[in-house]
A and B are shown apart, each in its own frame.
Chain A
Amino acid sequence: MTDYQVVRRPNTLLRNLNSKIASIPMILTALVVFLGGTLWTVFYSFTNSKLLPRAKFVGFDQYERLWASERWIVSIENLAIYGVFALIFSFVIGFVLAAFMDQKIRFENVFRTIFLYPFALSFIVTGLVWQWLLNPDFGAQHVVRSLGWTGFTFNPLYTQSIVIYGVLIAALWQGTGLVMVLMLAGLRGIDEDIWKASRVDGIPMVKTYLLIIIPMMRPVFITTLVIVASGIVKVYDLVVAQTSGGPGIASEVPAKYVYDYMFQAQNLGQGFAASTMMLITISIIIIPWAYLEFGGNKRG
């Protein structure tokens, strides 16, 4: 872009002043809210703040209490199960749908509109719809039973051991359309000549996808992975709407733990410690990606 470094003037602060003024909101958001807010929370996670934040340090007490809490363990387990399955299924379904959509089919617009519309809906709406669909007395289970299969049981929302899969079904309904669209964009970015070459060489289609196309789409997969994974760690509204964390604590998730401790149990220190753990989880995903994306690269 425009290189202003060529001409150096003594007063660097006033240089490009309008641009600096215009960037104040961005700088404040980046430094004060994102960086400052995060550091503040991490800092106070080492205190025993209850109703109000107090700078009385207790070391790792909050973290010990956190990892001793059954509810937190359940939350983490749920997040792990939900995360792994959500990633696998949304990628597989999203990619397969995208590959099918890429076969120069008719009604492509109609199909895309149908696959993507749930993504426009909020998690609250998603959760409530699937709460109703999975309702044991009226929903899927009831319908199958009334067809004559009376022993049929499919009651995820009221069964502790499988409730998280009920949430997963709803999440996949909402989110696979997004993965499909991103994958489709990636597929459309692949040079037509690749296909021609593989056809000339007589490589079967499935094999072409697995061995040539997917490796070529690595950047798309990585971006999609980052977007989907960071969405998974944040999952909150869906659980609140669909199960409220129940039955019991069987479908609790970390984000809900944070909210409940900060704003309901008035145990801020626990909330801060739990949110710091969420931050660490996200960092594991984001730092390698950010390193690849921004590391030493000034091209912008």
Chain B
Amino acid sequence: MADQATLNTVAAAADASSGSLSGPRGNRPRPIFSTRNIVLYGTLGLAAIYYLVPLYVMVVTSLKSMPEIRMGNIFSPPVEITFEPWVKAWAQACTGLNCDGLSRGFGNSVRITIPSVIISILIASINGYALANWRFKGMETFFTVLVIGAFIPYQVMIYPIVIVLREMGIYGTLSGLIIVHTIFGMPILTLLFRNYFASLPEELFKAARVDGAGFWNIYFRIMLPMSLPIFVVAMIIQITGIWNDFLFGVVFTRPEYYPMTVQLNNIVNSVQGVKEYNVNMAATILTGLVPLIVYFVSGKLFVRGIAAGAVKG
């Protein structure tokens, strides 16, 4: 029962994202301007405006010059569009003594995100595969600890990790941060892969066993090629999660390796100098751009990733 419910949730979520494609169902169409429709679309429309306003304000602010911002109001479209704030945010904005803009943070974030995503997914998929198909005694207990551990506030665990990384001599470096991301990505990803591999037909696994394939052979030759969609879901979760991370970046790296989010915060919330709101907003959009692109491109799969995080173990 429990597993059926789980699958239903995932299926429903996947369905939710393709709802409008599934063609007409249910009642006959009602008149367009019925009270029901006005209330329905009116409410949804108002909510949509609330969600969109911040994005709109970010974009228009970043395209205005400072005098224009001081004169007008934040909602008015720019009279004279300027891209200077974007250039400045990317290449000249200052954090402390460095004035090379967000490009440095962007580079760091790329160098953090790519290896973290690859390593964490590789490890978690193998773990999930072992959990689904090669059980041994006590394994579920470790898994339960792992999943519950995902809820423990990071603040409780960061200092011991700092000590361990310091002992290993990689505290403050990118590799240290990559290890941390791999560790904290593990609960959700292992859960995701375990559930996915467990949902594959067991005959497949058994047939491969009969044919003499072992642990790694089955993983690389059968499971991996069959599970590309779930790898994409895992990538979406990890890319957005790691890119958006702030706490680990600020705790586990030195300033020259700060990821984009940390650098953005330092630029915008620095107390020195005149506040340049247009540059700040351009910098904010630039930082949000990668997860936004991932979100808009992936659409349906993003929703599936969320549902995967929500279903029970």
Contacts and interface: CB of A to CB of B under 8 A. Distances in A.
A120 B295 contact: yes
Interface stretch (A81-89, A148-156, A225-233): A225-233
Interface in A211-258: 219-220, 223-224, 226-227, 230, 233-234, 236-237, 240-241, 244, 255, 258
A120 to B, nearest CB: 4
A275 B198 CA distance: 36
Interface string A248-278: 0000000100110011000010011011101
Interface stretch (A54-62, A70-78, A108-116, A160-168): A108-116
Q: Give the most central of B2, B47, B250, B280: most A CB within 10 Å.
A: B47
B65 interface: no
B243 A122 contact: yes
B288 A282 contact: no
Contacts of A207: none
Given A128-B265, A300-B313, A37 B157 contact: yes
A78 to B, nearest CB: 16
Interface string B1-40: 0110100110011011101100001110000000000001
A103 interface: yes
B284 A282 contact: no
Given A30-B143, A189-B9, 11 more contacts: A1-B135, A15-B136, A29-B183, A97-B44, A119-B306, A124-B265, A142-B73, A185-B12, A241-B268, A279-B156, A298-B140
Interface in B36-50: 40-41, 43-44, 47-48, 50
A125 B264 contact: yes
Contact of A109 (B20, B132, B280): B20
A139 B74 CA distance: 6
Nearest to B69: A138
A155 to B, nearest CB: 15
B231 interface: no
Nearest to B47: A97
Contacts of A299: 2-3
Interface of A: 1-2, 4, 12, 15-16, 18-20, 22-23, 25-27, 29-31, 33-38, 40-42, 44, 53, 93, 96-97, 100-101, 103-109, 111-125, 128-133, 135, 138-139, 142-143, 146, 173, 177-178, 181-182, 184-186, 188-189, 219-220, 223-224, 226-227, 230, 233-234, 236-237, 240-241, 244, 255, 258-259, 262-263, 268, 271-272, 274-276, 278-279, 282, 285-286, 290, 293-294, 297-300
Chain A residues touching B, majority SS: helix
B144 interface: yes
A242 to B, nearest CB: 9
B5 A132 contact: no
A158 to B, nearest CB: 14
Given A38-B157, A114-B48, A120-B292, A173 B17 contact: no
Interface residues of B, number: 112
B8 A143 contact: no
A294 B251 contact: no
A279 to B, nearest CB: 5
Interface of B: 2-3, 5, 8-9, 12-13, 15-17, 19-20, 25-27, 40-41, 43-44, 47-48, 50-55, 57-58, 61, 69-70, 73-75, 123, 126-127, 129-137, 139-140, 142-146, 148-149, 151-161, 163, 183, 186, 190, 198, 202, 205, 214-216, 240, 243-247, 250-251, 261-262, 264-265, 268-269, 277, 280-281, 284, 287-288, 291-292, 294-296, 299, 302-303, 306-307, 309-313
A30 B261 contact: no
Contacts of B198: 1, 300
Contact of B155 (A97, A224, A268, A278): A278
10 contacts: A22-B134, A25-B186, A30-B142, A35-B149, A109-B19, A118-B54, A135-B277, A241-B269, A293-B313, A300-B198
B107 to A, nearest CB: 18
Contacts of B264: 124-125, 128
A271 B162 CA distance: 14
A122 B288 contact: yes
A23 B131 CA distance: 8
A60 to B, nearest CB: 18
A231 to B, nearest CB: 10
B89 to A, nearest CB: 12
Contact of B151 (A108, A226, A240): A226
A234 B130 contact: no
Nearest to B190: A26
Q: Give the most central of B58, B155, B161, B215: most A CB within 10 Å.
A: B155
Contacts of B146: 26, 29-30, 34
Contacts of A19: 130, 134-136, 139, 215
B145 to A, nearest CB: 4
B287 A189 contact: no
A116 B57 contact: no
A258 B251 CA distance: 12
Given A120-B294, A121-B291, A178 B306 contact: yes
A53 B73 CA distance: 52
Contacts of A131: 268
A117 B55 CA distance: 10
A219 B15 contact: no
B127 to A, nearest CB: 4
Ordered nearest first, which 3 A-B pairs have the shortest CB separation? A34-B149, A122-B244, A19-B134
